[in-house]
Structure 1
Amino acid sequence: MSVSMLSTFVKPMHPEGRKFVAIAAAITVMLFLLWEPLGWIGTGLTIWVYYFFRDPPRVTPVREGLMISPADGVVSLLQPAVPPTELGLSEAPMTRVSVFMSVFNCHVNRLPLAGRITKVAYHKGLFLNASLDKASLDNERNGLAVETAAGQRYGVVQIAGLVARRILCFVKEGDTLATGDRFGLIRFGSRLDIYLPEGVQPLVCIGQTMIAGETVIADMSGSEPARTGEVR
């Protein structure tokens, strides 16, 4: 197998996953000692844990004003919604783009658009199905308010789900990040909400597949109307 073919299947792993892979591997060794078929099941589980914590490099569009997806997954909701009050963004509805991540998606989260983190707010909550609309307010979440160099403010919220029980955030208030920089991770299935500034139209459709750090979800400086799509 060539190096290029190998790189297609073997991706870098986020450091947060190392201990989980080590635990899964240790359990696999014990299962092999007990009964070989169980060991092979453990091997499959270990490979899946490694796959879950993969952190592949992404090619991020860097033109000023382009906002990219913060997560791999599928656009599950696209509607006006009042952002979480703890972010201090707006009391009026903002356009919300929700990206649902299954347990098979890469779960490393990336900043949608370069800016300064003005607020980091954790909210303890429930663990409902992350695809539900009410998960935005009822579920455990961690939100970021971000101010761009142009003075525009937007929000991005990590939301826990049925399986996801741990939200990790790697940034703090006052940090300045570039578009596509890694800012967090959610373990084992979840959702990301993006709240767009007033007047900014989403350039994605419900059901569209998203690639974190690559798929453009909005253009802060553009005037293109909101898009519609259909399954083909």
Structure 2
Amino acid sequence: MKIHKEGRKILFFTLLGLLVVNMLLYYFNSEHLTFNRIFSGVSFIVFLLILQFFRSPYRNLLLHEDLVVAPADGKVVVIENVEEPEYFNDVRKQISIFMSPINVHITRNPVSGIVKYFKYHPGNYFVAWHPKSSTKNERTTVVVESLAGPQVLFRQIAGAMARRIVWYVTEGDEVNQGEEFGFIKFGSRVDIFVPIDTEVKVQLGQKTKGGQTVIAQLKTSNSGSFFG
């Protein structure tokens, strides 16, 4: 496992800051050794928590043009038919994955294809499970025309703790299923919108692994069921 590039600068300055504070405490507050040791222990735990947040584990990616794989690690919190007003302007099936602070926060392409639409939206920071987070929070919207034919929309949504969304795609890019398309820092959610006739392969509350868990299978005129 390696550390993701988005976390290296944050980890460096966090470590530097904690070291300086601890050294100053031991220098100017040497008579309170118990407090200093407790503070050092808390500093170590804080650094480990931030370190695990930016971990980038190796993944054996599942690749198939009919399948939609989870774009992130987390838990399925929404499966429903909704009106998608930004791009499709019609009813789509929405699957949402909530990412807690302990999850890997790399976001991955759920399908392979061509990016037909991309837009960044500045916004608020409601908690990621709040109904308004999908339309009011800081977010990005990506639409990929999949190799199987149907277009798939996926949206990075910042949560209450997140203050920055990072993306690596632009319109016209060719993207590969399972590869990174972005990163969300400190708590977030990803919404996926697929055609109504798409077969959902996950259940509410199910945990997912980005690039590995199959969340849906697209319906195409020339494809059968990958699962038999």
Q: CA, structure 1 residues 223+94, in 2 after alignment: closer, same or farther (shift >3 Å)?
A: farther
Pick the aligned partner of 1:138 from 136, 159, 170.
136
Task: Confirm whether residue 30 of structure 1 aligns to residue 20 of structure 2.
Answer: yes
Larger radius of gyration: 2
**Deviation sequence 1:178-206 (CA, Å, 0-9, x none):** 11010000000000000012311211111
Pick the aligned partner of 1:14 from 4, 14, 17.
4
Q: TM-score, normalised by structure 1?
A: 0.86
Is the CA contact 1:158–1:186 (under 8 Å) kept in the aligned structure 2?
A: yes
**SS of match in other structure, 1:151:** coil
**SS of match in other structure, 1:103:** coil
Q: In structure 1, what is the Cα distance between the partners aligned to 2:75 and 2:148? A: 29
Q: CA, structure 1 residues 223+206, in 2 after alignment: closer, same or farther (shift >3 Å)?
A: farther
Aligned residues: 211
Q: In structure 1, what is the Cα distance between the partners aligned to 2:50 and 2:11? A: 6
2:72 aligned residue: 71
Task: Confirm whether residue 56 of structure 1 aligns to residue 57 of structure 2.
Answer: yes
Pick the aligned partner of 2:127 from 122, 126, 129.
129
Q: CA deviation at 1:139?
A: 1.3
Contiguous gaps of at least 5 residues in structure 1: 1-10, 225-232
Q: In structure 2, what is the Cα distance between the partners aligned to 1:108 and 1:196? A: 21
Q: TM-score, normalised by structure 2?
A: 0.88
1:166 aligned residue: 164
Is the CA contact 1:100–1:131 (under 8 Å) kept in the aligned structure 2?
A: yes
Task: Confirm whether residue 114 of structure 1 aligns to residue 112 of structure 2.
Answer: yes
Q: CA deviation at 1:174?
A: 1.0
Amino acid paired to 1:200: T
Q: CA deviation at 1:84?
A: 4.5
More deviation in 97-106 or 36-45? 36-45
1:179 aligned residue: 177
**Deviation sequence 1:123-155 (CA, Å, 0-9, x none):** 122111111222111211101010012331010
1:219 aligned residue: 217
- Provide the identity percentage: 34
**SS of match in other structure, 2:90:** coil
Q: CA deviation at 1:44?
A: 1.3
Pick the aligned partner of 1:207 from 191, 195, 205.
205
Is the CA contact 1:84–1:137 (under 8 Å) kept in the aligned structure 2?
A: no
Pick the aligned partner of 2:152 from 151, 154, 158.
154
**SS of match in other structure, 1:82:** strand
**SS of match in other structure, 1:36:** helix
1:80 aligned residue: 81
Is the CA contact 1:77–1:133 (under 8 Å) kept in the aligned structure 2?
A: no
Is the CA contact 1:136–1:159 (under 8 Å) kept in the aligned structure 2?
A: yes
Is the CA contact 1:30–1:39 (under 8 Å) kept in the aligned structure 2?
A: no
Amino acid paired to 2:22: F
2:31 aligned residue: none
